[in-house]
Amino acid sequence: AAPQGPPVYVDLAYLPGSWSARTVDEEFFRRVRSLCYVVSGDDHLKEGVLRPLLDALLSGKHQWGVDIQVTLIPTFDSLVMHEWYQETHDRQQELGITVLGSNSTVAMQDETFPACKVEF
């Protein structure tokens, strides 16, 4: 267990993908408080750990005790994400969590990919 200490506040936190995502739990979200969390890793490994990670965000954010708006930015489309969003939407609103969806695309050097703009 990591030693106790004050939480760390950041503007943007990039959550690990694949099997490393298993290390992101409620304690992580209690200690690493970000305005935006980026969830990436469009692979079969991420699907297996995505729901516990998203639930940990809700549990950890509940412990903050301060009213800070948080934006969750998924970089891929996922059935697990859609189900979690629908099942926990009321809880997300209570906690001030917004899930950012984007239908925008960016074209760059013969490649097109989904994108969103985040401003601080």
Which tens digit of pLDDT belongs to each residue from 4-52? 789 999 999 998 876 677 788 999 999 999 999 998 766 666 677 888 9
* The pLDDT of residue 55: 96
Q: Which of 53 and 117 is assigned the larger pLDDT?
A: 53
99 backbone dihedrals φ, ψ, rounded to 5°:
-95, 120
* The pLDDT of residue 2: 60
Residues 6+ apart with CB under 8 A from 73: 36, 37, 38, 39, 100, 116, 118
Mean pLDDT of the chain: 85
